[in-house]
Homo-oligomer: A and B are copies of this chain.
Amino acid sequence: MAKDKQHQLEIVTEPKFIDGSALKIPMLQILKEDGTLHKGAEAPKLDKELALKMFDTMQFIRILDERMIAAQRQGRISFYLSSLGEEAASIGSAAALDDGDMIMGQYREQGALAYRGFTVEQFMDQLFSNERDLGKGRQMPVHYGSAALNFMTIASPLATQIPQATGYAFGQKMDKTGNCTICYFGEGAASEGDFHAALNMAAVYKVPAIFFCRNNGYAISTPSQGEQYAGDGIAPRGVAYGMKTIRVDGNDILAVYQATQLARKLAVEEDEPVLIEGMSYRMAGHSTSDDPTGYRTREEEEEWRAKDPLARFQTYLIKKKWLTEKDAEEIFAEKKAAVLAALKKAEKVPAPHIDELINDVYDTPPKQLKEQLEQLKAHIRKYPEAYPKTASRIDGGEK
């Protein structure tokens, strides 16, 4: 066939429209839903210790999510957002990374953070906005962050972190750190302009970034297929940007782990950004503010319950004799106790001091802001009964 010289394009003389059907992207699955390996499938190399750490973290997150939803219902915290059903996606991918790799999340990646070593106390301090929260109580619950753990602080505006990940990874490449950045986001957030900017720029600059789309079927009430997009999900977009792309079963932790491990190699060794689309399902409501019965059926939820990533991995580990039912129960009990103890402790820790109100707007507070704080404090002193939590501590008084 003839080729166009400038563009190196194949030339055709009959008009033929192509569409999504020209590019259907399959899904990598290693563990079947019943927890056994696909025939002929090879599990990724994973030693027992690592496998159990992954399992451990999954258990922890499952309990944390359940307990904190309950705590929110009891009015002990104002808000919570669970990752129920999606634990494999964030934990399996985090496990494939180096601790020096930067993680930029959306808000449903507590699994990745826990895997990195964020302690149960640190989770609780953030959730209770107390004075030990690294974020100084300034953001809503679940907006975690830790510089020490290379986990960028979560922020609510969707998709903004995706081009930031491209920029961060560019810096890592220039500094020859040998590290990469992983960026998580939902299939809903992938509709934002920032997503488009981010992936195109990453492909152009060839930065060591892994874009991990958690396709969990919904953006709050909006179903992905047909209302969020009309094509074959998010993965084909990576192909369109000329980026290495793979789709995995997000509920299969082995598939997630393997794909991420290979993606990391491409990113770090060949400066090839990668898009991973992990297919999963948001088992709980969007957050504690949401009730999914208004927009989806119980049957649909039940279908997905059968694909539970935690049960699937547990079966695998038990079959592999790395775990017994009893072990699993013990881990569960131990995690639960830890969560409950930390919760009780964290809710007693006082809020940050009012002086923190003006710190970190700039590196140092400008004069005008200091004056505003002094005025506020004078006002509180005048009406201590109106601001009881602050008034007693305002001048260094007891906490």
Q: What are 7 A-to-B residue pairs whose CB atoms are below 8 Å?
A: A4-B27, A14-B41, A17-B263, A19-B239, A23-B240, A231-B240, A237-B237
Chain B residues near A28 (CB-CB < 8 A): 11-16
Other CB < 8 Å A-B pairs besides A12-B29, A191-B196, A232-B240, 14 of them?
A4-B27, A4-B29, A9-B25, A11-B27, A11-B28, A13-B42, A14-B28, A15-B248, A16-B28, A17-B246, A20-B239, A23-B240, A192-B193, A236-B240
- When distances are taken between beta carbons in the complex, the residues of chain B under 8 Å from A331 are none
Chain B positions within 8 Å of A274 at CB level: 17
Q: Nearest chain-B residue to A237 (Cβ)?
A: B240
Inter-subunit contact B192/A204 (CB<8 Å): no
Chain B minimum-CB-distance residue to A243: B19
Instruction: Determine the main DSSP class of A at the interface with B.
Output: mixed
Whether A23 and B23, one on each chain, are in contact in the complex, defined by CB atoms closer than 8 angstroms, is yes
Interchain CA distance A333-B16 in the complex, whole Å: 39
Is the Cβ of A249 less than 8 Å from the Cβ of B4?
A: yes
List residues of A whose CB falls within 8 A of some B CB.
1-2, 4-7, 9-20, 22-30, 38, 40-42, 191-197, 200, 203-204, 206, 217, 226-233, 236-249, 255, 258-259, 262-263, 266, 274, 279, 281, 303-304
Q: Which 7 A-B pairs have the closest CB atoms?
A: A193-B193, A231-B242, A196-B196, A13-B41, A20-B242, A203-B230, A236-B240
Give the residue of B5, B30, B266 whose beta carbon is less than 8 angstroms from that of A17.
B266
| Contact partners of A262 in chain B: CB under 8 A | 15, 17
A191-B197, A193-B192, A242-B230 known; A27 vs B10 contact (CB < 8 Å): yes
**CB neighbours of A26 from chain B (8 A):** 1, 9-12
Whole-angstrom CA separation of A64 from B16 in the bound complex: 35
Copies in the complex: 2
Contact status B239-A22, CB under 8 Å: yes
A239 surroundings in chain B (CB, below 8 A)? 18-20, 22-23, 231, 236, 240
Residue of B7, B40, B42, B279 touching A7 (CB-CB under 8 A): B279
- Is B232's CB under 8 angstroms from A204's CB? no
The answer to whether A246 touches B15 (Cβ under 8 A) is: yes
Instruction: Report chain B residues within 8 Å CB of A7.
Output: 27, 233, 279
Task: Please determine whether A38 and B23 come into contact, CB atoms closer than 8 angstroms.
Answer: no
**Please, which residues of chain B bring their CB within 8 A of the CB of A258?**
15
Known contacts A191-B200, A279-B4: does B241 contact A229 (CB below 8 Å)? yes
Candidates B1, B40, B196, B228; contact of A204 at CB < 8 Å: B228
Write out the residue numbers on chain B whose beta carbons fall within 8 Å of the beta carbon of A242.
19-20, 229-232
Residues of B close to A191: CB separation below 8 A: 196-197, 200
- Shortest Cβ distance from A3 into chain B, in angstroms? 9
Chain B min CB distance to A279 (Å): 6
Contact A194 B197, beta carbon cutoff 8 Å = no
Question: Chain B contacts of A41 at CB under 8 A?
Answer: 13-14
User: Which B residues are CB-close (under 8 A) to A15?
Assistant: 28, 246, 248, 255, 258-259, 262
Q: Which of B22, B231, B244, B279 is in CB contact (< 8 Å) with A23?
A: B22
Of A26, A195, A204, the most chain B CB neighbours within 10 A belong to A26
A95–chain B nearest beta-carbon distance, Å: 16
